[in-house]
């Protein structure tokens, strides 16, 4: 009777009419399949003469594996595997063709599988099947992986094709009748972010976009020689003279002492108004000669604009600095160049390339070891600090005297900026894993102590009285009531501390005494600004982010298990 009634009433409105969704879904699935097919065939037909293949991640990896496999004593895991495989083929070592072909075929096969999946998915969309969603999630993941494999080559559309493939897969998932689950939404957001990254770079290539505000120009008098210019400076004809630093230094060797009432300054900081840089900037090659009395008031070139300045005719100072129009740069897309924002594939490739040129180990392995070091320090310190904090919290909860006496110090300890003194602590305690761990202990113990205290004192007096009426001991009350009540508080502190411990560990690794760890790796790879180092820097940072997120997620999972029977106070019933 009830079912009849229910069916008699129309269901809830949908925003999108169902047939339209299906048409969109099928069309996009077809496109995704065709793109995957196109990519598979393209990759299959590539040979060693095409950059698209030789710059791709698996090819470069294959090259390296071959080189490593040629050395019998190589400790690289992949090289050992390769040699083992080669011996099954009756060879000592694999040839370049074999290793690179291997990578190439994997890509091709995967692309074909994706094409097949898309084809099957198209049928599934038409049948409104449940398995369309996991199937296309797989296709989406396949395209995302390709994003990290296919290099950007001038004139090749493969990367754009991959991006289109991602768009199509996302479209199929979003248009799915079953709606978008959390998992799907998560991956769609990741896909969108990756697309934005590469999309920005794509647009930056075609649009060299910069907003610059012109500033007033220099008023320059040119002199035939430097001596003439300096005489003019002394007599007050000009406010300052721009010249080669070396020449000025030879003339006025006792810098910063003056010579003949003249001195020179060399501003090293980038000029800017507010936060925007002014270009061109004064290079280290140039210096500014001033009258001795003027020197204290003039410290940056911008203070000289508007007055008359002098330079030697046809000198570097005149032709390359003073004659170039001054501009304030508001926006410049140089942020998106390959050094500042490498292609995703470049970063992925950096992971699977040796950390040092001709190095024995891949960057991923080096970073793995560094990450293990950092994580061990952080986890060690975290565990210890959490234990200390718990104990302290329990002590404070049971002794008001101790709480009154010591709590202010515990609070005050947090005002010490531990991260600022972290390098000094590590130097002071001797550079080792334990000294880095000490930082994590400090960071963790305070929030855990405070939250444990708050949590232990949170049960209502009524619930305590109930247990007391059963003649439960203080210890029993602690275990049965206070600790369980404190769990949510303790875990919220633990989650914050987990992240902070990783940060603390990384900062603690900055002093030069420590040779391992992610902090050191970051410093190493940031020391030079080159196409070789920058992707490695990004790779290191990604690994650091990964360590932080994983640690936090671990603590969250433990929290979920421990608290699964709790009713969270934020939830309302009914």
Partner 1 sequence: MSETAKSIVISAKNLYKTYQSSQSEPVIALQDVNLDVYAGEFISLIGPSGCGKSTLLRLIADLTKASSGELLVNGKTPYEARLRREYGMAFQSATLYEWRNVSQNVQLPLEVMGYPKKQRIQRAQEMLDLVELGAFGNHYPWQLSGGMQQRVAIARALAFEPSLLLMDEPFGALDEFTRERMNMELLRIWERTGITVIFVTHSISEAVFLSSRVVVMSPRPGRITKVVENNVPYPRVFETRETPAFFERVTEVRELLRDAHEA
Partner 2 sequence: MEQKTSLGVLGGRYVPTILVAVSVLVLWEGIITIGNIQQFLLPKPSVIFGELWYEITLFFGSGSRSALFDAAGATLWEALGGIVLGCGGGFLVALVTARWTIVNEAVMPLAIAANSVPIIAFAPIMNNWFGITNPFSKMAIVAIIVFFPMMINTVRGLTLVDPLQLELMYSYGAKPFKILFALRLPNALPYIFSALRVASSLSVIGAVVAEFFGGPRATLGVFITQEASGFNFSRAWAAIIVASVIGISLYLLVLFAERRLMSWHSSLREKG
- 3-state DSSP assignment of residue 78: helix
Distance of alpha carbon 87 from alpha carbon 562, whole angstroms: 51
Q: Which of residues 11-30 bind partner 1 (CB under 8 A)?
A: 11-12
Choose between 3 and 401: whose C-beta lies nearer to partner 1.
Answer: 3
* Contact between residue 341 and residue 201 where contact means Cβ atoms under 8 Å apart: yes
The only residue of 24, 51, 116, 180 in contact with partner 2, by rule CB under 8 A: 180
Choose between 11 and 90: whose C-beta lies nearer to partner 1.
Answer: 11
Smallest gap, in angstroms, from Cβ of residue 11 to partner 1? Answer: 7
Choose between 226 and 505: whose C-beta lies nearer to partner 2.
Answer: 505
The only residue of 106, 185, 207, 211 in contact with partner 2, by rule CB under 8 A: 185
Peptide bond into 202 cis (omega under 30): no
Smallest gap, in angstroms, from Cβ of residue 56 to partner 1? Answer: 47
2's contact among partner 2, partner 1, none, with CB below 5 to 8 A by partner kind, is partner 1
Distances (CA, A) of 95 to 9, 63, 341, 455: 70, 9, 35, 64
* Site membership for partner 1, residue 208 (CB under 8 A): no
Q: List the Cα angle 301/306/311 in 5-degree steps.
A: 60
Stretch that binds partner 2, among 144-152, 207-215, 343-351, 532-540 (CB under 8 A): 532-540
Q: Where are the beta strands (DSSP E) in 233-297?
A: 240-244, 262-265, 272-273, 276-279, 286-291
Stretch that binds partner 2, among 12-20, 188-196, 199-207, 287-295 (CB under 8 A): 188-196
Choose between 8 and 193: whose C-beta lies nearer to partner 1.
Answer: 8
User: Which two structure tokens, joined as six digits, stand for 1?
Assistant: 């009777």
Choose between 3 and 275: whose C-beta lies nearer to partner 1.
Answer: 3
3's contact among partner 2, partner 1, none, with CB below 5 to 8 A by partner kind, is partner 1
Binding mask 481-520 for partner 2 (x = CB under 8 A): --------------x--xx--xx--xx--x-------x--
Choose between 222 and 419: whose C-beta lies nearer to partner 2.
Answer: 419
Distance of alpha carbon 199 from alpha carbon 205, whole angstroms: 10
Which residues share a beta bridge with 259? Answer: 262
* Site membership for partner 1, residue 569 (CB under 8 A): no
Distance of alpha carbon 492 from alpha carbon 556, whole angstroms: 9
Which residues share a beta bridge with 221? Answer: 310
* Site membership for partner 2, residue 417 (CB under 8 A): yes
Which residues share a beta bridge with 214? Answer: 327
Stretch that binds partner 1, among 6-14, 43-51, 82-90, 245-253 (CB under 8 A): 6-14
Phi-psi sector, 479: left (phi>0), alpha (psi -120 to 50), beta: alpha
User: Which two structure tokens, joined as six digits, stand for 376?
Assistant: 């061990």
5's contact among partner 1, partner 2, none, with CB below 5 to 8 A by partner kind, is partner 1
* Site membership for partner 2, residue 541 (CB under 8 A): yes
Torsion sign across C-alpha atoms 249, 251, 254, 256: negative
**296 CB-side CA count, 13 A:** 1
The only residue of 30, 204, 364, 523 in contact with partner 2, by rule CB under 8 A: 523
Binding mask 251-280 for partner 2 (x = CB under 8 A): ------------------xx-x--x-x---
Those residues with Cβ within 8 angstroms of residue 118's Cβ, 6 or more apart along the chain or in another chain: 29, 30, 32, 33, 36, 136, 139, 169
Beta-sheet strand order (sheet of 262-265): 219-223, 308-312, 240-244, 286-291, 262-265
* Site membership for partner 1, residue 2 (CB under 8 A): yes
540's contact among partner 2, partner 1, none, with CB below 5 to 8 A by partner kind, is partner 2
Terminal Cα distance for the chain, rounded? 27
* Site membership for partner 2, residue 435 (CB under 8 A): no
* Site membership for partner 1, residue 4 (CB under 8 A): no
Residue whose C-alpha is closest to residue 505's, from 405, 432, 555 = 432
* Site membership for partner 1, residue 8 (CB under 8 A): yes
Which secondary-structure segment (H or E) carries 427?
helix 418-429
User: Which two structure tokens, joined as six digits, stand for 278?
Assistant: 């002014």
Peptide bond into 280 cis (omega under 30): yes
Q: Which residues make up the interface to partner 1 (CB under 8 A)?
A: 2-3, 5-6, 8-9, 11-12
- Residues in the site for partner 2, rule: CB under 8 A? 180, 182, 185-186, 188-190, 269-270, 272, 275, 277, 335, 339-340, 404-405, 408-409, 412, 415-417, 419-421, 423-424, 427-428, 495, 498-499, 502-503, 506-507, 510, 518, 522-523, 525-526, 529, 534, 537-538, 540-541, 544-545, 547-549, 551-553, 570, 572
């Amino acid at each position: 009777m009830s079912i009849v009634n229910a069916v008699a009433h129309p269901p809830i409105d949908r925003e999108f009419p169902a047939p339209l969704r299906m048409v969109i879904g099928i069309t996009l699935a077809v496109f995704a399949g065709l793109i995957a097919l196109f990519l598979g065939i393209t990759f299959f037909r590539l040979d060693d003469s095409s950059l698209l293949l030789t710059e791709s991640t698996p090819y470069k990896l294959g090259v390296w594996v071959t080189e490593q496999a040629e050395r019998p004593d190589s400790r690289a895991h992949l090289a050992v595997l390769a040699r083992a495989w080669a011996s099954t083929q009756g060879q000592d070592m694999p040839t370049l063709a074999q290793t690179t072909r291997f990578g190439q075929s994997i890509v091709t096969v995967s692309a074909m599988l994706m094409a097949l999946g898309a084809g099957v998915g198209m049928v599934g969309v038409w049948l409104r099947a449940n398995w369309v969603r996991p199937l296309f999630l797989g296709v989406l993941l396949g395209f995302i992986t390709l994003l990290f494999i296919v290099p950007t080559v001038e004139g090749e559309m493969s990367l754009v094709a991959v991006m289109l493939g991602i768009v199509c897969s996302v479209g199929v998932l979003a248009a799915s009748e079953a709606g978008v689950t959390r998992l799907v939404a998560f991956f769609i957001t990741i896909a969108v972010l990756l697309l934005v990254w590469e999309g920005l770079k794509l647009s930056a290539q075609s649009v060299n976009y910069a907003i610059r505000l012109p500033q007033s120009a220099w008023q320059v008098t040119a002199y035939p020689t430097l001596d003439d210019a300096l005489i003019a400076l002394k007599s007050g004809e000009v406010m300052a003279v721009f010249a080669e630093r070396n020449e000025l230094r030879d003339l006025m060797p006792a810098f910063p002492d003056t010579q003949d009432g003249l001195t020179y300054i060399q501003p090293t900081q980038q000029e800017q108004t507010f936060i925007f840089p002014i270009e061109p900037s004064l290079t280290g090659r140039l210096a500014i000669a001033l009258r001795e009395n003027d020197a204290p008031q003039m410290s940056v070139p911008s203070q000289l604009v508007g007055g008359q300045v002098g330079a030697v005719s046809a000198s570097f100072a005149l032709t390359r600095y003073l004659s170039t129009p001054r501009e304030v740069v508001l926006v410049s897309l140089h942020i998106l160049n390959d050094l500042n924002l490498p292609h995703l594939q470049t970063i992925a490739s950096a992971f699977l390339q040796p950390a040092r040129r001709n190095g024995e180990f891949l960057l991923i392995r080096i970073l793995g070891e560094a990450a293990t070091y950092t994580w061990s320090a952080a986890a060690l310190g975290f565990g210890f600090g959490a234990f200390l904090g718990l104990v302290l919290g329990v002590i404070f909860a049971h002794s008001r005297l101790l709480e009154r006496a010591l709590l202010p110090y515990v609070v005050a300890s947090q005002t010490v900026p531990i991260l600022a003194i972290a390098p000094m602590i590590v130097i002071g305690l001797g550079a080792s894993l334990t000294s880095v761990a000490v930082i994590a202990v400090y960071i963790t113990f305070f929030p855990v102590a405070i939250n444990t205290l708050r949590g232990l004192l949170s049960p209502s007096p009524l619930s305590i009285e109930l247990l007391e009426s059963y003649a439960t001991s203080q210890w029993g009350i602690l275990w049965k009531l206070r600790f369980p009540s404190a769990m949510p508080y303790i875990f919220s502190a633990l989650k914050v501390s987990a992240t902070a411990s990783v940060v603390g560990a990384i900062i603690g690794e900055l002093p030069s005494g420590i040779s391992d760890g992610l902090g050191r790796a970051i410093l190493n790879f940031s020391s030079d600004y080159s196409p070789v180092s920058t992707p490695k820097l990004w790779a290191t940072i990604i690994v650091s982010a990964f360590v932080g997120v994983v640690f936090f997620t671990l603590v969250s999972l433990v929290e979920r298990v421990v608290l699964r029977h709790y009713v969270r106070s934020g939830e309302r019933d009914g």
